[in-house]
Amino acid sequence: MTTFRALAASATGCSDIRSITMEESFSQITASCIVECDTTTASLGDAISVGLGYDTPTNIFSGYITKIERQRPDNIIRITAFDELIKAVNYFIAADDPEAPFQRNNITSLALITDLLALASITSVTSTEPSPSFSWGTNEDGARFNLQSVADAIGFIANITGGAIWWDASAGRVEYQYRKPYVDAGDTPLATWTTANTAISDITYHRGTEKTRNVVKIYGKSPLTASASASNPYLVVDQAIIIAHELLDTQQICNDTATVNLALLNRLDEKIELTREGDPTIRARQIYRIEENFTGFSDDVFLYRVSHMLNDSGFYTSVTAIP
């Protein structure tokens, strides 16, 4: 006997919803959501919450409306929104005096990110400091930021330290965590997806070396440099990445940057891309296990990107997952 479930969708101020697309990714600082509907009472800058599911919608997104489009002849209203960290994207650091920019001295990564986010009126931040721990602005010039967005500034710090930054809507805070973009020791899958127990409509297993880097070279504040390298059996020639920035102002931070980034980048570029029956509880950065016969893939995976889509065809969830 076939069991049918009614699709349910909700969005603040929206009626007669036609489609919803929500996407979040490890590599993007903000989650985004697009809602198409027939009528709305929403305005630019309004807070919006969006839900999807079966019978009763489950919240998948909370944020702020940044764009409203009205289209004919289809008579569709398209609403675009981003989560809390859109404030960091839109806040541009521009000192009144270019000789006196935003500056901090001898400060940890968490404290520096917290101070930068405060410029954009985001005040709740939590973290696990990465290992090795980084200290910024230890020389007389300090760590200076100007003529860039808060998002670019904190994104640079996260990339250098091997961390990740995202908005945790359920906790109402920014998370800055030392989280590798793949399965790490201690990760436990929430469930196993197979073709038998999961309605997978398509799946692709990629293996390659396009993003693999086995040589890392660091150019810090002149004359500081550092490098790290290792062998890689999949490469036909060494593949290098260059990281250059004036904020890398001590030999220790240059050395640590090289070490951290080599560990992140000197690995095979593997990923699973699949689309399955919609499940609003699936979120980026979760761990699952995938077992699929045709591709031969059987391993735990880290959900690097998650997209929820509701339209005339139904409710689908697509993911990019990394073992």
- The per-residue pLDDT for 1 is 42
> Other C-beta atoms within 10 Å of 123: how many?
10
- Are 198 and 305 found together in one domain? yes
Domain count, the chain: 4
- Are 108 and 68 found together in one domain? no
Phi, psi (deg, nearest 5) at residue 157: -60, -45
Residue-number span of the structural domain to which 74 is assigned: 7-83
Exposure of 294 by Cβ count < 10 A (0-12 exposed, 13-18 middle, 19+ buried)? exposed
Please choose, from the candidates 79, 76, 74, the residue with its C-alpha nearest in 3D space to the C-alpha of residue 49: 79
Residue 135 lies in a domain: yes
- Are 117 and 148 found together in one domain? yes
The total number of residues shown for the chain amounts to 323
Residue 2 lies in a domain: no
- The per-residue pLDDT for 129 is 61
In eight-state DSSP terms, residue 134 is P
- Are 198 and 295 found together in one domain? yes
Residue 128: CATH number of its domain: 3.55.50.10
Do the Cβ atoms of 11 and 2 come closer than 8 Å?
no
- The per-residue pLDDT for 4 is 66
Token match 């917290």: residue?
114
Show pLDDT as tens, one digit a residue, over the chain (323 residues): 455 678 999 999 999 999 999 999 998 999 999 999 999 999 999 999 999 999 999 999 999 999 999 998 889 999 999 999 999 999 999 999 998 999 999 998 999 999 999 999 999 998 876 555 788 888 878 899 999 999 999 999 998 888 899 999 888 999 998 888 999 989 999 999 988 777 788 999 999 999 999 999 999 998 999 999 999 999 999 999 999 998 898 899 999 999 999 999 999 999 999 999 999 999 999 999 999 888 889 999 999 999 999 999 999 999 999 99
- The per-residue pLDDT for 274 is 95
- Are 251 and 275 found together in one domain? no
- Are 65 and 94 found together in one domain? no
